Structure 1
Amino acid sequence: MPRISLDLLQQFVVAARAGNFSRAAEQTHLTVSALSHQMRQLEQRIERKLFDRGPRGVQLTPEGQRLLDAIGIHIEGMDRALAAYRCRRDEALTVNTIPGVMTSWLVPRLPQLVAAHPELELNLQSSTDLVDFDRDPVDVVIRYGLGPWHGLVSERLFDEWIAPVAAPALMERMRDADPEDLSTWPLLGDPSGRWKEWSEHTDTPMPHRFVAQFDTTDALQRAAVEGMGVALGRMVMARPLVEAGLLCLLGSRYLKIPEGYHLVYPADRLDHVGLRQFRDWVHAEAVRYQQTMGAVSGERKHVPRARR
């Protein structure tokens, strides 16, 4: 058998772990077609089928699983050992955030960061996947949850509030309904989740007209924008849509939830000048945002309100 390159084996491990060539292509900095070609080349060279390819991704065959079990730990060990020797320029910074925070909160504020630090070169990634800082080329992440994250520095940036939101078109259709009483409104989301908390928080009867549930917040809020129903919007993502007139707030109450947004990074990354600059800037922006959202009683003077 001809010698197989280490790059090809590394690409196989990434693809096998990801279970999806699109995600693996992003991690290996290849196109999907190039990565797929590389995997077929590897299968031809070892004369074994490694992947079952389907419309929803790829799965390892028994032969592929055996190869991953045999080489995966060694490839990952080499990546960890070499990580300390990789050149990391102080002006280059890779930031990974969850999609909603990237588009609704981070990107609109980035011009101020670039103006303050024009030498900074940002590489922005949007993902909900866990990051392995020993393996993935990422310097810092922003994550949503309770925190902390074991073995990492975890700094809470700001809290999260939720409130019912609906599209203007739905508001018009339901113009005779009381926005403080949601029992007759079509609702989006999980009735056993946040809606139950909302009912207890507002001391109102549990709504019963749930028309759809979604597995992502982005899909939920998109359905609300299209007028499908009322969603309990997370304000970090819903508030810009309210300010743009795409959604309206129903009633006059918010619910502050335990989860929040955190800056997460390995302790040894603080020697990176770009990370320190980003950290100082994002904390200052978070303080301003927290103060704005913390003024719950006054906030509704600045955003569209539902009509009764």
Structure 2
Amino acid sequence: MGKLPLGLLQQFVLVARLGNLSRAAAQANLTVSALSHQMRQLEERLQRRLFERGPRGVKLTAEGCVLLEAVGTHFDGIEHALAHYHTRHHNELTLSASPGIMSSWLVPRLPRLVAAHPELELNLQSGSALVDFEREAVDAALRYGRGEWSGLRSERLFGEWIAPIAAPELVARMGDTDPHDLSRWPLLGDPNPANRWRDWFAHYGGELPRRYVAHFDSFEAHRHAALEGLGVAMGRMVMSKSLIDAGRLVVLGERYMAVTDAYWLVYPPRSQEHRGLQAFRDWLLAEADDYCRRMPGMEACGTIEP
């Protein structure tokens, strides 16, 4: 078999830990097809199947797990040994966020950040998976939850409210149907595992429907279905406000409900001295405070120390 190129094993470790060829390819500055070819080449040389490939990513086989355990710690040791020699560029900032908060809230505000801090070089990564700050070259992330991430500093930006939202076309088709009686409206299943419809009916009264028009595994698809008039979605206001302001969605009955989860700026201790992150953090908290003041019922927003 001969000696394996260290590059192949390094790429294997990256793919194995991320479980996603697209994200691994982006970090390795390769195309997805090139990285996939490298992994197949490694499997052929070892004569072992290392990955199970599926529509949502790749998963290690038993043989793959054995190989990762054998070589992964060695690459960690090399990276740790070389960390002292890495040049830290404080004007470069790598930020991770989910597609929803990235496109709906952050991106529309970025021109103000660029105007205030033209020296910053932003690298924005959009994805739903949580960042592993120990293994990924990411300085900070925007996360949705309760702020309970061990070993990380979390600063609360603002809370979230939910409400039933629908396209004006659907409202027109329903005619004079009472928007407070949601049992008579076509409802879209909630992607949230907690099923916010259950919380909604428990709070405002009524019964869960026996069936939903459709179910979706992502909030983006869920909201798009509402935009197309397929049914009523349980919408997050942070994600949906711009569409509501533009008249593309309406809130049925003008009733809202607060949820316990919130949006947070999260970063590891190593990022605290990063001047680029310090500038971004100050700007972000000011934007969050302004947003809270403009959102009815969100006066309690603010920064909470972890």
Residues 125-144 of structure 1 correspond to what in structure 2 (within 5 A)?
Answer: 125-144=125-144
Structure 2 unmatched ranges of 5 or more: 300-306
**Structure 1 residue 157, shift from structure 2 partner:** 0.5
Distance 1:289 1:120 in 2: 23
Aligned match of 1:224: 226
Partner of 1:187: 187
- Summarize deviations over 1:177-204 as a string: whole Å, max 9, x none: 01121110011124972112112322x2
Inter-partner Cα distance in structure 1 for 2:87 and 2:107: 27
Worse-matched range after superposition: 205-214 or 147-156: 205-214
Q: Is contact 1:94–1:138 with CA below 8 Å preserved after alignment?
A: yes
Alignment check: 8 A CA contact 1:211 1:229 kept: yes
Q: What do residues 212-239 of structure 1 show as CA deviations (whole Å, max 9, x unaligned)?
A: 2222211111111111111110011111
1:212 and 2:214 equivalent?
A: yes
Q: Is the 8 A contact 1:164 1:250 kept in 2?
A: yes
Aligned to 1:235: 237
Q: Which residue of 1 aligns with 2:303?
A: none
Corresponding residue for residue 301 of structure 1: none
Q: 1:276 aligns with which of 275, 278, 288?
A: 278
Q: 1:80 to 1:262 in 2, by over 3 A?
A: farther
Q: Summarize deviations over 1:86-128 as a string: whole Å, max 9, x none.
A: 2221111001011100000000000000001111100001112
- Rounded Cα–Cα distance in structure 1 between residues aligned with 2:115 and 2:75: 40
Q: What is the CA-CA distance between 1:41 and the residue it aligns to?
A: 2.7
1:139-160 deviation line (CA, Å, top 9, x unaligned): 0100000112110100000100
CA contact (8 A) 1:182 1:207 kept: no
Q: Distance in 2 between matches of 1:55 and 1:143?
A: 25
Residue pair 2:50, 2:63 contacting (<8 A) in 1 also: yes
> Is it true that 1:168 corresponds to 2:177 in the alignment?
no
**Contact 1:163 / 1:255 at 8 angstroms: preserved in 2?**
yes
CA distance in 1, matches of 2:56, 2:287: 39
SS in 1 for 2:290: helix
Matches within 5 A, 1:26-65: 26-54=26-54, 57-65=57-65
For 2:61 and 2:256, locate their aligned partners in 1 and report how far apart those are by CA, in whole Å.
50
Match of 2:253 in 1: 251
Q: Which residue of 229, 243, 265 maps to 2:267? A: 265
Distance 1:229 1:84, change over 3 A: farther
TM-score by length of 2: 0.89
Q: For residues 252 and 53 of structure 1, what CA distance do their matches in structure 2 show?
A: 45
Q: Is the 8 A contact 1:80 1:135 kept in 2?
A: no
Q: Is the 8 A contact 1:170 1:227 kept in 2?
A: yes
Aligned residues: 296
Q: CA deviation at 1:55?
A: 5.2
Partner of 1:100: 100
Give the structure-1-normalised TM-score: 0.89
Structure 1, gaps ≥5 residues long:
298-308
Q: Percent identity?
A: 58
SS state at 1:271 partner: coil
Q: Are 1:80 and 1:134, in contact at CA under 8 Å, matched by a contact in 2? A: no
The 3-state SS of whatever aligns with 1:256 is strand
RMSD: 2.1
